[in-house]
Chain A
Amino acid sequence: MNTLAPFLPTIAALVKIGLLVGGLMTAAAYLVLVERWMAAWVQDRKGPNRVGIPLTKIRLFGLGQPLADGLKIILKEDFTPRHVDKVLYTAAPLVILAASLAIFAAIPFGSVLPPLGIPGLPDPVPFLVAPGLDVGVLWVFALSSIAVYGVLLGGWASNNKYGFLGGLRSSAQLVAYEIPLGLGLLGVVLAAGSLKLDAIMNAQAESGVWYAFAQPLGFIVFLVASFAEAARLPFDLPEAEQELVGGYHTEYSGIKLLLFLVAEFLHMVTAAFLIVIMFLGGWHLWGVTGSSQEVTWLGAFIRFGVLSTKIFAVILFFMLVRWSWPRFRFDQLMNLAWKVVLPLGIANLVTVATIEEFRPQLVERLGAGPAGVIALAAPWAVFFLGWIAAGMLTPSGTDNTPIRTHNMLDAERELVEV
Chain B
Amino acid sequence: MKPTDPSVTWIEEKPLGLGERLYLPLFVQGLTTTARHLVSPKLTVSYPEQRPTVGNPLIYRGVHRLNRDTEGRVKCVACFLCATACPAHCIDIVATNSLWPDREKYPESFSIDELRCIFCGMCEEACPVDAIELTSLLDLTGKSREEMIFDKEKLLSVYDMTKDAEPMKSASLGGTL
Q: Give B41 Cβ to nearest chain A Cβ, in Å.
A: 8
Please, which residue of chain B has its CB at the minimum distance from the CB of A320? B34
Contact of A320 among B26, B35, B40 (CB under 8 A): B35
Q: B143 in the interface, Cβ–Cβ < 8 Å?
A: no
Min distance, Cβ A393 to any Cβ of chain B, angstroms: 9
Considering only CB atoms, which chain A residue lies closest to B31 in the complex? A324
B3 & A392 in contact (Cβ 8 Å cutoff): no
Interchain CB contact under 8 A, B10 and A396: no
Considering only CB atoms and an 8 Å cut-off, how many residues of chain B contact the other chain? 27
Whether the Cβ atoms of B44 and A45 lie closer than 8 Å is yes
B23 on the A face (CB < 8 A): yes
Establish whether residues A42 and B23, one from each chain, have CB atoms under 8 Å apart when the complex forms.
no
In A377-405, the 8 Å CB interface with B consists of 387-388, 391-392, 396-397, 401-402, 404-405
Q: Is B22 an interface residue (CB 8 A)?
A: yes
A402 to B11, CA, bound (A): 12
- Asked if B21 is an interface residue, CB under 8 A from chain A, the answer is yes
Q: Which of A321, A324, A397 has the most CB of B within 10 A?
A: A324
Chain A contacts for B31, CB-based, 8 A = 320-321, 324
Separation in Å of the B95 CB from the closest CB of chain A?
A: 49
B10 engages A404 (CB within 8 Å)? yes
Q: Is B22's CB under 8 angstroms from A388's CB? A: yes
Contact present for B4 and A404 (CB under 8 Å): yes
Contacts of B10 in A (CB 8 A): 404
Complex: A406 Cα to B40 Cα, angstroms? 48
Task: Give the residue of A44, A46, A396, A404 whose beta carbon is less than 8 angstroms from that of B16.
Answer: A396
Q: Which of B27-45 contact A (CB under 8 A)?
A: 27, 30-31, 33-35, 37-44
Complex: A392 Cα to B18 Cα, angstroms: 7
Q: Are A42 and B37 in contact, CB atoms less than 8 angstroms apart?
A: yes
Minimum CB–CB distance for A316 against chain B, Å = 10
Q: How many Å lie between the Cα of A211 and that of B10 in the bound state?
A: 49
Contacts of A38 on B, CB cut-off 8 Å? Answer: 38
User: Known interface pairs A44-B43, A46-B46, A391-B23. Does A324 touch B3 (Cβ–Cβ under 8 Å)?
Assistant: no
Q: Is the CB of A396 within 8 A of B21?
A: yes
| A404 to B1 CA separation, bound complex (whole angstroms) | 12
Measured in the bound complex, the distance between the Cα atoms of B20 and A9 in whole Å is 55
Proximity string of chain B (33-69) to chain A, C-beta cutoff 8 Å, 1 when within and 0 when not: 1110111111110100000000000000000000000
Q: In chain A, residues 15-53, which have Cβ atoms closer than 8 Å to a Cβ of chain B?
A: 38, 40-46, 49
Instruction: Choose among B16, B33, B40 the residue that contacts A324 (Cβ–Cβ < 8 A).
Output: B33
- Determine how close the nearest CB of chain B comes to the CB of A359; give it in whole angstroms: 30
- Residue of B21, B35, B37 with most chain A CB atoms under a 10 A cut-off: B21
Q: What residues of A have a CB within 8 angstroms of the CB of B35 in the complex?
A: 320
In Å, the complex CA distance between A306 and B30 comes to: 28
Check if A45 sits within 8 Å of B43, measured CB to CB: yes
- Least CB distance from A11 to B in Å reads 45
Q: Which secondary structure dominates where chain A touches chain B?
A: loop
Is the CB of A286 closer than 8 A to any CB of chain B?
Answer: no
Given A46-B42, A46-B46, A388-B22, A406-B37 contact (CB < 8 Å): no
Smallest Cβ-Cβ distance to A41: which chain B residue: B38
Q: A42 near B38 (CB under 8 angstroms)?
A: yes
CB distance from B47 to the nearest CB of A (A): 11
Q: Are A325 and B30 in contact (CB under 8 A)?
A: yes
Q: Which residues of B contact A45 (CB under 8 A)?
A: 42-44
Please give the distance in Å from B61's CB to the nearest CB on chain A: 26
Query: Are B4 and A406 in contact (CB-based, < 8 A)?
Result: yes
CA of A392 to CA of B23, assembled, Å = 11
Q: Please, which residues of chain A bring their CB within 8 A of the CB of B23?
A: 391, 396
CA distance A49 to B48 in the complex (A): 13
User: B42 to A324, Cβ gap below 8 A?
Assistant: no
As a 0/1 sequence over residues 307 to 338 of chain A, the CB contacts with chain B under 8 angstroms (1 = contact) are 00000000000001101110000000000000
B13 within 8 A of A: yes
Which residues of chain B are near A401, meaning CB under 8 Å?
13
The contact of B34 among A324, A388, A396, by CB within 8 Å, is A324
Q: How far is the CB of B155 from chain A (nearest CB, A)?
A: 34
Q: What residues on B are CB-neighbors of A404 within 8 Å?
A: 3-4, 10
Chain B: minimal CB distance from A48 (Å): 11
Q: Complex: how many Å from CA A110 to CA B37?
A: 34
CB closest chain-B residue, reference A322:
B34
Residues of A within 8 A of B21 (CB): 391-392, 396
List B contacts of A49 (CB < 8 A): 46
Q: 6 shortest A-B CB distances, which residue pairs?
A: A324-B30, A391-B21, A391-B22, A46-B44, A406-B2, A324-B34
Other A-B pairs beyond A38-B38, A320-B38, 16, CB < 8 Å: A41-B38, A41-B39, A41-B42, A43-B37, A45-B42, A45-B44, A46-B44, A49-B46, A320-B31, A320-B35, A321-B30, A325-B26, A388-B22, A391-B18, A396-B16, A404-B4
**Which residues in B have some Cβ–Cβ distance to A below 8 Å?**
2-4, 10, 13, 16, 18, 20-23, 26-27, 30-31, 33-35, 37-44, 46
A-B contact pairs, 13 of them (CB 8 A): A41-B42, A42-B38, A45-B42, A45-B43, A49-B46, A320-B35, A321-B31, A396-B21, A401-B13, A402-B3, A404-B10, A406-B2, A406-B3
Q: Which residues of A contact B (CB under 8 A)?
A: 38, 40-46, 49, 320-321, 323-325, 387-388, 391-392, 396-397, 401-402, 404-406
